[in-house]
Amino acid sequence: MRAVLVVNPQATATTPAGRDVLAHALASQVKLDVVETDYRGHATSAAAEAAVDGADLVVAHGGDGTVNEVVNGLLARGPSGATPMLGVVPGGSANVFARALGLPRNPVEATHVLLRAIEEGRSRRVGLGRVEPAGAAASAAPGGHRWFTFNAGLGWDADVVADVDRKRGKRTGPSLYARSAIARYARPGRGRPDLTVELPGEEPITGLRLAFVSNTDPWTYLGARPIHLNPGCTFESGLGLFALRSLAVPTVLRHLRQAMGERGVRRGRKLVRRDDAARIVVSAPEPVRLQCDGDLIGERTRVEFTSVPSALTVAV
C-alpha cells in the first residue's frame, strides 16, 4: 500500500515528536511519503497530487482545516473508485470530523486505530457536503465548488471565523472562538444579514438572520461539550439546516441551552430546522461571509449546498 502523510506543523496539537512517531508507525506498514504544509492550500495540492499519482491512502495530521484541504484535494476530480482512502490523526483544537467518526482525540491513540484499520482492512463510506457559490467568484477548490465534512454556514459563524483568522498570532482554541462569538454578537459590524432559504418542495423562507448547514452531528464542540443543532444528521443522511429568524438575546440563549443539552435543539418560534435535506440554497441581497469546516471561503450572495452520499472512504 502506498500512502502519503500530510502534516500541518502549525496545528494546535501537532508536534515534531508526534509527527515522527506517526510517520515511523505508518512506515512499518505502508510505503510512505511525508509532506509538511507551508501555506494555505498546500494540503489540497499535496492530496490532489497523491490522488493523481495513484496513492492508496492519504493521512491528514492536523486540525479540521487540514482535513478539509486534504478532502478537497482527494476529490478535486470528483468522487470515484480511484479516489484514495482518507486517514485522520487529530492534531487541532476541535477535531470535529475525527470526533464525529468516533476517533480518539489523542494523536497516539488515533494512530493505533488507524494502524489497526489498515491491518484489518477496515473502512467506512461517508457522505459529504458540497458548496456551489453560484453567481460569485470560484472558491479555492477546482471547479468553483468546495467540499465540507461537518458544517458550513453564512453570517454569524463565518464572521467569527474571520475574526479568529485575524488573530492567527494567538493560540486558537475554544476560548478564543467563544470570545470572538460574543464580541461579534455584540458588535455585528455591517448589521444582521437578511437571508432567504430554499428547500426542495417548499416555498422560500425569508427573513432569516443566520443559516448553519450540518453534514453530521454534533455541529461542533465547545471544549469537551458537543453542540447539537441537528441531532438527526449523520454521515449517512442528507444535510441539516439550522436557521434563526431573530438574533434577540432570549432567542439565542434559549437555543444555546438546547444545543448544549443531550437532546439538542428541538423547537422554537424563531427556529427553522430541517434534517436530511438533499439540497439547500441560501441567498442574500448583500454579500455575506461563508465558512466551510471553520475555514473562511469569502463573501457570497447565493450559495447552494448539496448532499453527496458515500463521497469518500475513511479508514476507521
How many Cβ atoms from other residues are within 10 Å of residue 77's Cβ?
A: 13
Residue 105 and residue 95 in contact, taking contact as beta carbons nearer than 8 Å: yes
Give the residue among 163, 126, 174, 177 at the shortest CA–CA distance from 147. 126
191-202 tens-digit pLDDT: 689 999 999 999
Q: Which three cell numbers stand for residue 140?
A: 479555492
Residue in the block written with cell 453542540: 227
pLDDT tens-digit series, residues 303-312:
999 999 999 9
In this structure, what DSSP letter does residue 172 have? Answer: P
Band (93; pLDDT cuts 50, 70, 90):
confident
Domain range list for the chain: 2-122, 129-311
Closest CA to 93 of 107, 109, 81, 82: 107
- In the predicted structure, residue 170 carries a pLDDT above the cut 80: no
pLDDT bucket at 290, cuts 50 / 70 / 90: very high
**Conformational region of residue 81, where left means phi above 0, alpha means psi within -120 to 50, and beta covers everything else:** alpha
- Across residues 1-16, what is the average pLDDT? 92
The pLDDT value given to residue 266: 76
The CB-side HSE value for 83 (13 A sphere, CA atoms) comes to 22
For domain 2-122, give the CATH number: 3.40.50.10330
pLDDT above 90: percentage of residues in the chain: 74
Distance (Å, whole) CA 167 – CA 175: 13
Q: Tell me how far apart the alpha carbons of residues 151 and 214 are, in angstroms, rounded to a whole number.
A: 4
pLDDT tens column, 201-228: 999 999 999 999 999 999 999 888 899 9
pLDDT tens digits, one per residue of 28-54: 999 999 999 999 999 999 999 999 999
Dihedral angle at the C-alpha atoms of 7, 103, 65, 256, nearest 10 degrees? -160
Single pTM value for the model = 0.91
Q: How many CB atoms within 10 Å of residue 11?
A: 23
Cβ partners under 8 Å of residue 166, min gap 6:
none
Cα 266 to Cα 180, 197, 210, 219, 229, distances in angstroms: 26, 19, 17, 14, 8
User: Do the beta carbons of residue 135 and residue 301 sit within 8 Å?
Assistant: yes
Identify the pLDDT of residue 136.
Answer: 43
CATH code for the domain defined by 129-311: 2.60.200.40
**Distance (Å, whole) CA 214 – CA 128:** 10
